[in-house]
Structure formats: structure tokens, C-alpha cells
Structure 1
Amino acid sequence: MDERSRRFGPGMAVALAIALAALVLPPSGAAPAHAENNGVGLAPALGWSSWSSVRKSPTAAKIEAQADAMKASGLAAAGFQYVNVDDFWYQCPGSQGPNVDADGRWVTDTAKFPAAGGSDGIKVVADHVHADGLQFGLYVTPGVSSQAVAKNSAILGTPYHVQDIATTTAEKNYNCKGMVGIDYTKPGAQEFVNSWADEFASWGVDYVKIDGVGTSDVADVQAWSKALQQTGRPIHLELSNNLAVGSAATWKQYSNGWRTGGDIECYSSCTTAGTLTDWTHVQSRFGQVATWQPYGGPGAFNDYDSLEIGNGSATGLTDAEQQSQMSLWALAASPLILGTDLTALNTTELGYLKNARVLAVDQDGIDASRIVNSGNQQVYSKTEKDGSVVIGLFNYSGTGSTTVSVALSAAGITGGATATDLWSGASLGTISGTYSVTLGAGAVKLIRAVPAGGAVRVEAEAAGNTIAGAARVATCSACSGGHKVGYIGNGAANSVTINGVTEPSAGNHTLTFTYLLNGSRTFYISVNGGPDIVENLTGTSFSTPVNASVTVALAAGSNTITFHNDTAYAPDLDVVTIS
């Protein structure tokens, strides 16, 4: 269990300034997924959650100490903003559900979070967190407590009661139990969730995590999204855990982020007893990052769970493995929500967390594609809006060294590129052809490569692009990155726009695009909204990629290239290369 996501707050470091400059739209046929329609979560969350290191015993003193440490350590200045209380903040008398107030909402455990000055204990802590210049998050699960059903609690501001809306279907509450479903077709159901959201807003909550969410809980997610929006307070909505990738479009429409798998914590199965996690649990995310790549983007991000960095051997990861975890999460544009004890950070690992070069990779909001998946060799890459390419080479093995190699062409680089090691900041000089590095167990080499007169290669489904209308991402085993964009055309709104193609000066360039179709179709290609270039194309299969090239005139600075067909369906689009 954990939390994620962030709103831009004060004191942002250079890394976030870079990220803000690079904000782009998400890759989906749906509208950008701002669950509260207020710009929350435009970049991946940076913060801390109580679950990993505090777990079942959060108290006001512990949470306030973590907030103070986030500020004092410089993490807040580096961009970390959220301080989130996970489970066990509310009264739980047994297995019959959380205790509730007169309106059926959970009651704060005053032994852990004492009230003060007439304020609820949670508000007292939220005020402390805000005084540190940070944001505050809180935890909830779907449904309504059985205690509220037994008491037939009133629904605030309505003539209805909980028994009017409750079902007998059990809802997940992992520790207290006793939650049952809500029938959202019944009057009073939305108003009940609204009243709960209003209470959270009055306490100063900036982030809500709904845990125990599955495909059967879509109505709860919709209700909470609507409820948080109607409070008028910008509140980030995060979903947990192990959500179904087949419902990614739904999670994206109604929330700012979602957990892609189970917990990163290893609990009783830890390789070393008493640690937070181990390398095996980090390894489980490599495949998830590849699978979920098409679905994250500004406003709604894939969440790979807590970042366990900062407490040395107590984390269960070596220094190399901690760098690898942060590198993989950053390449995937995942929320970076720390689970470690911020009051006991060691200097070396604190330096990892404050590395502006690596944070900028995360904050660009672009999901990397896996371009090498061969035994212990794992390589991911993504192209930034400025044309630079970030490449992460990983040794998947936790026991021995290996040499990891990648053809730079697979990352969209033809010719040479000037490379920088993002962890050390050291120049790697000019690289070309195949780049190789020998890595120790669980280690990573994270580099930024700036093509020198070579081609810029952009996946059609990349997070930096605008996939509009009915156009949508589809799997394609023969395609670059394993995906393509289909349903382009048959209306002006159904298009793909390659954004942020940056050139130092105006001039003509060769645009090579890879498409798929069975028969004959036409692409209309518009640069910067200008006149269309008409390309009549043929193909033999929607599973067989074909290349075509045209000459385009690009302006100095940033350019957009739109593929569309206003009257008929166009081919599917795989990848675009600009020389």
C-alpha cells in the first residue's frame, strides 16, 4: 500500500523547471485525464507515503516529523511535495468496518491524531504539513462502512440514509474490513461521497488514495472523481492497487494515477529479514513498464509503487539497485513517492533523490519504451521534446555482472550523438552505432544522447504526441515498441500529431513514416497546420509495417506534424523519423 502524485507547489528545483517546459498531452483517444479538471497531476507525483516505513502505526508526531525532514533535507526544494498518510488513521474497532460519524463517514483515531483547538486531528497534521510548504494526502477505500449501515446514518444534506444506498456486496478494506458497496443508481449515493470529499477538503487534504480498487469499482472511482471536483479544492485522485491494464482508458478518464501491480514491499518474504523490499520485487516492474507504456501521460500516470531509497541496507536494495529503481521509475514517468524514513536518510542516497538530471527524466511526463529485452539485458528509451534521447541500460541480474548493448538506431538515433551520464553528470563524448556497457549486479547506466545531425525517431504512440478523437493505441507485435495508432481519419478530429520536433534553423528534411494497411488508403500530412501533403499508400496487411518518405519544410524551433484524413480512414501509424 502506498500513495502517489503531486501538484506543483513552491520551491521547485531546476529539474521541475525543465519538466514544466516539456509538458505535453497524453497519448489517448480520450481527453486529457485531469480527474478534477484543475490541472492536478500534470507531472508525476513527488512525495512520501507512510505505508512502507510507518505502516500500521501512523501518528501525528511521526507524520509531522517526516514533513519537517522533507523540508530540512532539501527534498522539498528539489520538488518533493506530498506527505501522505496511508491506512490506520481512522478508528477500527474490529472486523465490522471503521467507526463512523453521524453522517456515515470514517472517524479519526484520536489516540493517534489528537484534535486540537477545535480541529479534527487530521486537519491539525495537514495544517503542519502545509506550514512546511508541502501538500497533504489521505487514504480511503471504496464503499461505505457496515457500521454506518447498522446505524442507518443520515446522508448529509439529503432526506436519505445509508440503508437507502448500501448493498450487501463486500468491498475491500485490507485491514479493518467491513466495507460494503454503494448502489450509485440510488438517490443519495453521490451526495454521500460528496459529503465525505467535502470533509476531506475542509481538513486541507490535497491528495486522496482509494485503495482496493478493481474493475468492479468503476462507479466508486467515478463518484469520487466527481465528488472531489465539486469541493472546489484541487485534490489529486490516485487508485490502488494492481489495476487491470484492459481498463486503462477508464482509469485515465477518472483519476490522476493508478497502481499497475501489487506492493513493492516484500513483507515476510524479504531476501533479508526486516527490510522494506528486495531486488526481486523491483524486477517485477520491468515487464509492467513495457506493458503500460502507452497509457501514461500528463494528468494521469502509471504508478509503479513506492521508491525505496534513502535508508541504506534497511531498504533491502544495494546502492546500485536503488539507482536502478529510480532510473526505471524515471524512464517510465512514474510518481516518485518515497517509502523510506526521511528522518534517517544517508547522504549518498539523499544525493540520488535530489539528482536534478534524473528527476527531469521523470518529470518530462513521457513514458519510455523497452527496446531491448534479452535475458539480463534490459534497455528502455524515450525521446524528449528537444530531440534528445534518454536511454537506460539495466543489468536485470541481482547476482552477477553482464554487458548490456543497444543499437542506437533502436532508440531513434542515426549517426553520432553526444552523450552524458545522468547519474554522475560526466560527459561520455560521442557515441554511435552500438553502445555497450558492463554493469554489476542490479546496476544501471542512464544517459542522455543528443543526436548530432542524425535522425529523430518518434513512436506514434509516444506520450509527447496528441492522439485525438477516435484514433487510439493498439498492440502490434511487428511494430517498433510493440504498438501502433489506428482508427486515424474518417473525420478531421481523428488524427495523430507529432509534437515538439525541434530544429535549430528552418529547412527541408526527409520525413520517413512507418505505416500499416491492407489495400489502399491516403494520409494527409500537415506541418505546423500548413497545407496538406497527400500520400496515396498501399499495403498488404495491418500487421506488416511499410516505410514511406516525403520532404517536409520545418521551421526554426518547435514543429508539429499531423497525420489525418478528413473523409476516409487512413493507414495505421507506427513510427516517424525526421532526418
Structure 2
Amino acid sequence: MKRPVRGLLAALVGAVLLTTGIAATNAPAAVAEGNGVGATPALGWSSWSAVRHNPTAENIEATAKAMKDSGLAKAGYLYVNIDDFWYHCPGSQGPDVDQYGRWVTDETKFPPKGDENGIQVVADYVHSLGLKFGLYVTPGISKQAVAQNTAIEGTPYHAADIATTATEKNYNCKGMVGIDYTKPGAQDFVNSWADQFAGWGVDYVKIDGVGTPDVPDVQAWSDALKQTGRPVHLELSNSLDINNASTWAKLSNGWRTGGDIECYSCESNGSSFPLTAWSSVSSRFNQVANWAPYGSPGAFNDYDSLEVGNGSDDGLTLDERKTQMSLWSLAASPLILGTDLTRLDPTDLALLKNRSVLAVDQDAIDAKRISSDANTQVFAKTEQNGDVVVGLFNTSANGQTVSSTAAALGLPASADYSLQDLWSHRTTETSTGTVAATVPSHGVALLRIRPLHHAAALLTAPSTTVTLAGLAGASDGGQNTVTETFTNNGALAATDVRLTLTAPAGVTVEATSQTRFAAVRSGAGVSATFTVNTPASTGLFAAETVDASAAYDWLLVVPAKDTASGVLTVNQPVTAPDKTFASTTASFSQEGTRLGVRAQGSDVYGSTNQYGAIYQAGAEHDGSTTVVKIDSQTNTNAWAKAGIMVRNDITGTNTSPGFLILVEAPGKGYVIQWDANGDGQLDSNSAPNNTGIGTAAYPSWLKLVRTGTTYTGYYSTDDATWTEVAAVSVPSATATQDVGVFATAHQSGATSEVDFDGFATS
């Protein structure tokens, strides 16, 4: 009897979905910069992330071919952009220049073909595939042009007539100085350069190193590219000042809102992989919220490269890759891939070609942040046809329910709404006004929502969620009580609801309450509890994945299921004489001489004291030496900190003086920070230029030697050769102090795990 009913329902549901199908939205025609390009966010690829210092004709042409052959071009990815290192740079004297002061192509990388410049040769190939070609430049003029006093093409003026002595940013080659645009010949110089680019077939120009003082350069390049008569997209980079957003919108098609997405300290063995990290992606949530008012058709907020395409080499989990593409699309950001297109991961390729998600990006509408807390972010936008697209983001380490309401999202009043998941392509309905989804760790539910007739709602699968509670803080070989909750937001009751919880071999799960329910009405929920027994673990933080499932029927006969997963972390207890303290969310573990700290926290400096520490009370004294080995550290931020902490009282956050830390930071090397004035807050830094000494490596050893109230810090990468970090005075140090190891993530909502070994004070 079930098969005919289900077949009829399938036909009815299909008819309903046809009447509520996703219509393509037409992007507004207005173009802010007025150069005839960029009405929608650019889609393409840039060489910087994967190719980095070695773009060549061979690898750029191979990338262009891969873009076409993979179907990415058909999906709308058209730009093939060469970033830095295409020109010849002999050293800090600046790029080599031609007779008119313009950069000279590195012919070892881009060989000429007859009289044709090597860059033009590559551009011709890219164009032959139906694609577009981009190139990189920085503000100003090369010092070599000034030294040679090169002519400015078509004028009686020379480089020395227009150059200033101010240093311009060229991050890698260096050697660029400013241009005085009040001087005759200044605009002509940039026009000459733009004419050369246009003659080579350049369709996209990225100006890097742009700051507020470079507005005249941006204006000059904007005017210069227009006068060529060739439509050229103009992009600005990086970390543009939000106070000048209206200027960037007037003069360009897009601008980078922050620093690089790449995780330079994550790279290994001379490779540029992994390309990025979750901390780099999650840092964009606030950028998207802050910059949302300033994007518009033809002028887009650019959140940097989309690092999706190479599977685990991207540096992100699959859920994190969906999150990055969803956030960028909600924000109508350019989608410029940074990955290696010649070795695309099939799963990632499907993500990149998802037309439902690409349509969200190409609507040219910036999403607004609806809500945020330590573990969730909700962004939404209303499209021209009235649909609302919402991203429900889970930034926590465990799966959880993320929710909002139809009213908060700006939807019109309705008894029912359809929710189309743009990643799974599954459509459900809610009749409670709640818009919710079970979202995995660092994942997203990207939903297109519209009002739904009640009759259609009765034929659409209900929106349901499954949540888990009680996963945190399992003790080694101990027992946890885990609660699974199922909630039904659909129009009809869910019937014969069966809740189950499973775990890997060695972990036992036993239900301690009712797990089967005859019906769960609309807007209601049910819960079941389970006892989870974990075995004795090996390692500092053993992780056991538990899977929850809620199987049920709707319309009495149609089977459905919702699932959630969570990680039960097993901590081995820290034993005396060691103690623990946390001024942020943190957990601790000990295995023999090894110590583990998992800590959140936005920083330890100034009035911010957010850390987790394992310490010994009163063990630091005149003449003492403290050593520890850092085996590993989660790179949640370039300034994530792990190392040795001394303080008169480690539990006295923001109050206890005698405060000093010797740390390793993934992107900053080795640093000492200390409290010089005795107010209980770190106020002095051995890295005044925002970078310590050395390059972070794992394992590393730290050593802190106290003589009176002077502390000398050292680091080593082999436990044999020691390099001094700094020697500093902490006058407020008492005769005996607390000393320990600590960690802080330097990234709100992120958790940094640090594994220490051999902590000792003598």
C-alpha cells in the first residue's frame, strides 16, 4: 500500500516544487565605477595562493586550459590573473624598467614570441579559450626609472620630473617611490603604462599595496584605463580603509577589505599548501558585517581568494569550504580562486559549479548580519524577486542547531515558508516561523526561503533539527550523560519518532530514557538521554565522534531522517603539583610529562587577559630556570600565543603584577611581553614592529632564566642551540611567583590546542 501513496506524493511534491522553483535573479544594471565592466562580481583565478613566486607562461596557460576543460569557464569563471613576480626584479633598487619607466617582463618566465611580449603571448592564449586575462601592478614608479631618468612616452617629461622620495608599497620587490600628480607628465606616465597593458590584451588590473595616501594613484589608473578604450576591470588591494569606502567605489570595481587569506605559517616543505586555515576564513565574518553597506553593482567588497578546489590541501574541511563559498556568495564578493586548477578535487569542483550558490553571489546584493554570538553567525539578504537567502553558520567545534526567525530575516508574514538548501538541494517547510537547521562544526546551512501556500506545505517535508548536549569535559575512562533533542518545525506532526545515538567501537552507549515517540506535533520537541562510557585513552585529548539520528514519518507513511554529529573529547586529569586556571573557555589534559591546553581567548595583552594555564604555585624565584618543549600549536591566528607565563598570581587576571610571558606565535616567531609599570597588565613587547625573532617551528623549546627581577628568554629548535629573545626587567615581581604554560587563540570563538612536554622549573 505504501508504494502507490509515496508515488502520488512524489508527483504532487514535484508539482509544488515547480510552482515554487528558483528563478534566476537579474542583477541591477548600474555600474559604480563607470568603466563598462563589473556589473556582477568577478569570477576567475589568481596565481598568488598556489603558484606564489613562480608564475610562468607554462603554468598560467595550463591553468587557463584547466579552467575551460573542467567546466569552470562554462559556470562563469572567466578571469585568469597573474599576480606578483611576472616582472624582472634585480633587488631592492626596484623593478627593471623599459625606456619609458614601465616594468620589464621577466623573459625567463614569459618568453617573447618574435616581436610579441611574453605577457601578450600568454594573454593571446587565454583569449583563444574564450577567457579573460589579468595582471598585477603597485602604486608609484620604480627607483630605477628615477635613477635612469627615463622618458615619459609622448611627452617632453622624464621620471625625475614626477617622482617623489616617498616609499610606495611593493611587498616583494620593493624599490617603488611615489608620484606627484600635480606635476606635468604624471598622468601621462600612467596612461602610457595602461596603454601598454591594453595593447597586451589585459582585461583586469590589480593594484596592490593601496592605502589612503594612494588615492591619487587609484584615480590616475582609473582614468588611464578608461582612456585606453578597452574595458578593464580595476581591483584594489589590500586592507583598504573603510572610511574611504565611497572613494574606492567611485574609482574601482572592487577592493580588498582585509589582509591575505593565505596561512603562510601553515605551509610546509617549501610548498604553498595548505593554502589557508579556518581562522583566516572565520575572521571574515566581521569584515562582511562591517563592509556590507558599501558594496553595490560594479563596486564590490573583495574578501580575498576563494580557497576551494584542492580538497584537504585547501587547508579547510569540506564543511569549512562550503562555509567560505557561502559567506563570499552571500556577500557578493568576487570569487577569485586561489587553488591549483590543474589538479582539482572532484568534490570541490562540484561545489564551485553549484549554480544555485553562484546565483546568490551574482545577484550583486550584499547580505547583512542578522545575529551573532560566540558559536553562531546568521547573514541574510532579500533578492529582487522577494526570496530571502540566509546563511546559518556554526563556528563552534561541535555540530549544533543554528536558528533565526522569518520576521528577523525580513520575510513577509505567512503561515508557511519553503526552505531550499542550496547545497543539498533538499526542500523542506516551516510553519512555526522558525528558520533552523542542524549545522556541523564550522559548517553552514545556506537556504533560499519564500512564503508557501499551506496546501503545498502539507506536501513538503518538514524542517526538523537534532541537537546534542553533554559532550564537553568527559574524563578519562569516565561517563557522560548526553541528551539528544529532536524538534519539528513543520506543518504536520512527525510520527513514530525514533532517537538513536551511536559511537565508535570501544565506546559504549546506553539509553536511559524513552527513545521512541508516537508523534511530535508542529513546533514541539522531544528528548532522550544516553549514558556514554569512554575507555581509558591514549594521547592528551582523545576525540570520539558520536552520531545522533532521528528517524520519523511524515504524512504517516513517508520516511525521513535528521542527523547530527558531535565530538566527545576525553581529557586526562592534570595532577599535583600542577594546577589549572582559565579566564576563557579552556580544557586541560596530562599524560606523563606531556601537558595539553585547549583555550579560546581573544588575546593576552593590555586589558585583555584571556588564557588557559597549567601552572605551579610559587615555583618561580631568583635564580630559577624554566624550560618547556612545544610539540604543536593550532594556528588560529598569526598572533596565537603559547609558552611560559610567570605572574605573582596566575589566577589574578588584570590585577596581579610581576607579569611576563615568553611565547611562540605561529606567524610572528618568538616574543617576550611584560608588565613594565606594575599595573598587572602586559604593556611592553620585544616585537615593537609587530614581529618577533625567528620563525615558528614545531617542536620548539623555550627557556626563561630569572636573575633578581630580570628575565632572559631563549628559544631553540633542537634543544641544543639557544637564541636569546630578550632580557627585560619586571620590577613588580615578588620573591616567589607562579609559573606555568599557557595558551590563547587570539581569535574570538576559535580554540587553539597546544601540546607541551617536559615543563620544569629549577
Query: Can you list the C-alpha shifts for 1:114-173, whole angstroms capped at 9, x where unaligned?
Result: 000310000000000000100000000000000000000000000000000000000000
* Cα 1:17/1:152, change in 2 over 3 Å: farther
- For 2:47 and 2:446, the matched residues in 1 are separated by 29
Equivalent runs, 1:91-130 vs 2, <5 Å: 91-130=88-127
8 Å CA contact retained: 1:24, 1:365:
no
Question: What is the CA-CA distance between 1:33 and the residue it aligns to?
Answer: 1.8
Equivalent runs, 1:153-552 vs 2, <5 Å: 153-269=150-266, 274-397=273-396, 399-413=397-411, 414-415=413-414, 416-452=416-452
Question: What is the CA-CA distance between 1:428 and the residue it aligns to?
Answer: 1.4
8 Å CA contact retained: 1:214, 1:244:
yes
**Aligned AA (1:436):** A
Question: What is the CA-CA distance between 1:426 and the residue it aligns to?
Answer: 1.3
Query: Can you list the C-alpha shifts for 1:384-408, whole angstroms capped at 9, x where unaligned?
Result: 00001001100012x2222211122
Question: What is the CA-CA distance between 1:451 and the residue it aligns to?
Answer: 2.1
Question: What is the CA-CA distance between 1:441 and the residue it aligns to?
Answer: 1.1
Query: Can you list the C-alpha shifts for 1:100-120, whole angstroms capped at 9, x where unaligned?
Result: 000000000000000003100
8 Å CA contact retained: 1:99, 1:106:
yes
- For 1:343 and 1:452, the matched residues in 2 are separated by 44
Secondary structure of 1:340 counterpart:
coil
1:39 counterpart residue number? 36
- For 1:391 and 1:297, the matched residues in 2 are separated by 19
Query: Can you list the C-alpha shifts for 1:22-57, whole angstroms capped at 9, x where unaligned?
Result: 3254xxxxxx522xx332000001000000000000
Query: Can you list the C-alpha shifts for 1:192-251, whole angstroms capped at 9, x where unaligned?
Result: 000000000000000000000000100000000000000000000000000010000000
8 Å CA contact retained: 1:270, 1:278:
no
**Aligned AA (1:378):** Q
Question: What is the CA-CA distance between 1:281 and the residue it aligns to?
Answer: 0.3
Name stretches of at least 5 consecutive residues in structure 1 with no aligned partner: 1-15, 26-31, 455-579
**Aligned AA (2:201):** G
- For 2:342 and 2:150, the matched residues in 1 are separated by 41
8 Å CA contact retained: 2:399, 2:439:
yes
**Aligned AA (2:190):** V
**Aligned AA (1:128):** Y
Secondary structure of 1:67 counterpart:
helix
Question: What is the CA-CA distance between 1:174 and the residue it aligns to?
Answer: 0.3
Question: What is the CA-CA distance between 1:269 and the residue it aligns to?
Answer: 4.5
Question: What is the CA-CA distance between 1:268 and the residue it aligns to?
Answer: 1.2
Give 1:67's match in structure 2, choosing from 54, 64, 73.
64
1:55 aligns with 2:52: yes
- For 1:197 and 1:442, the matched residues in 2 are separated by 43
- For 1:149 and 1:138, the matched residues in 2 are separated by 23
Secondary structure of 1:337 counterpart:
strand
Secondary structure of 1:409 counterpart:
coil
Query: Can you list the C-alpha shifts for 1:487-526, whole angstroms capped at 9, x where unaligned?
Result: xxxxxxxxxxxxxxxxxxxxxxxxxxxxxxxxxxxxxxxx
* Cα 1:410/1:192, change in 2 over 3 Å: same
Question: What is the CA-CA distance between 1:433 and the residue it aligns to?
Answer: 1.4
Equivalent runs, 1:1-40 vs 2, <5 Å: 18-19=24-25, 21-23=26-28, 25=30, 32-34=31-33, 37-40=34-37
- For 2:431 and 2:363, the matched residues in 1 are separated by 24
Name stretches of at least 5 consecutive residues in structure 2 with no aligned partner: 1-21, 455-762
**Aligned AA (1:445):** A
Question: What is the CA-CA distance between 1:271 and the residue it aligns to?
Answer: 11
- For 2:63 and 2:262, the matched residues in 1 are separated by 19
**Aligned AA (1:446):** L
Question: What is the CA-CA distance between 1:375 and the residue it aligns to?
Answer: 1.7
Q: Which moved more, 1:65-74 or 1:409-418?
A: 409-418
- For 2:79 and 2:399, the matched residues in 1 are separated by 37
Query: Can you list the C-alpha shifts for 1:38-80, whole angstroms capped at 9, x where unaligned?
Result: 3200000100000000000000000000000000000000000
**Aligned AA (1:23):** P
* Cα 1:125/1:432, change in 2 over 3 Å: farther
Question: What is the CA-CA distance between 1:453 and the residue it aligns to?
Answer: 7.4
8 Å CA contact retained: 2:266, 2:274:
no
* Cα 1:447/1:190, change in 2 over 3 Å: same
Taking CA–CA contacts closer than 8 Å with sequence separation of 6 or more, which of the two structures ends up with the larger relative contact order?
Answer: 1
- For 2:386 and 2:306, the matched residues in 1 are separated by 28
- For 1:280 and 1:123, the matched residues in 2 are separated by 38
**TM-score under structure 1 length normalisation:** 0.72
Secondary structure of 1:385 counterpart:
coil
Rg: which structure is higher?
2
Give 2:87's match in structure 1, choosing from 85, 90, 97.
90
8 Å CA contact retained: 2:39, 2:297:
yes
8 Å CA contact retained: 1:357, 1:422:
yes
* Cα 1:50/1:17, change in 2 over 3 Å: farther
Secondary structure of 1:177 counterpart:
coil
2:137 counterpart residue number? 140
- For 2:249 and 2:431, the matched residues in 1 are separated by 38
Query: Can you list the C-alpha shifts for 1:303-325, whole angstroms capped at 9, x where unaligned?
Result: 00000001011010011000000
- Report the structure, 1 or 2, having the larger helix content: 1
8 Å CA contact retained: 1:108, 1:121:
yes
- For 1:165 and 1:259, the matched residues in 2 are separated by 28
**TM-score under structure 2 length normalisation:** 0.55
Q: Percent identity?
A: 65
Secondary structure of 1:420 counterpart:
strand
Query: Can you list the C-alpha shifts for 1:328-347, whole angstroms capped at 9, x where unaligned?
Result: 00000000000000011011
8 Å CA contact retained: 2:27, 2:39:
no
1:507 counterpart residue number? none
Secondary structure of 1:190 counterpart:
helix
- Report the structure, 1 or 2, having the larger strand content: 2
- For 2:32 and 2:48, the matched residues in 1 are separated by 26
* Cα 1:374/1:155, change in 2 over 3 Å: same
Secondary structure of 2:49 counterpart:
coil
* Cα 1:270/1:393, change in 2 over 3 Å: farther
- For 2:142 and 2:210, the matched residues in 1 are separated by 16
Secondary structure of 1:429 counterpart:
strand
- For 1:43 and 1:226, the matched residues in 2 are separated by 21
* Cα 1:65/1:271, change in 2 over 3 Å: closer
Question: What is the CA-CA distance between 1:438 and the residue it aligns to?
Answer: 2.1
Secondary structure of 2:51 counterpart:
coil
Query: Can you list the C-alpha shifts for 1:414-468, whole angstroms capped at 9, x where unaligned?
Result: 32221211112111134541222221111100010012479xxxxxxxxxxxxxx
- For 2:388 and 2:394, the matched residues in 1 are separated by 20
- For 2:267 and 2:88, the matched residues in 1 are separated by 30
8 Å CA contact retained: 2:292, 2:367:
yes
8 Å CA contact retained: 2:190, 2:221:
yes
- For 2:399 and 2:330, the matched residues in 1 are separated by 22
**Aligned AA (1:388):** D
- For 1:308 and 1:245, the matched residues in 2 are separated by 24
Question: What is the CA-CA distance between 1:379 and the residue it aligns to?
Answer: 0.5
- For 2:361 and 2:150, the matched residues in 1 are separated by 45
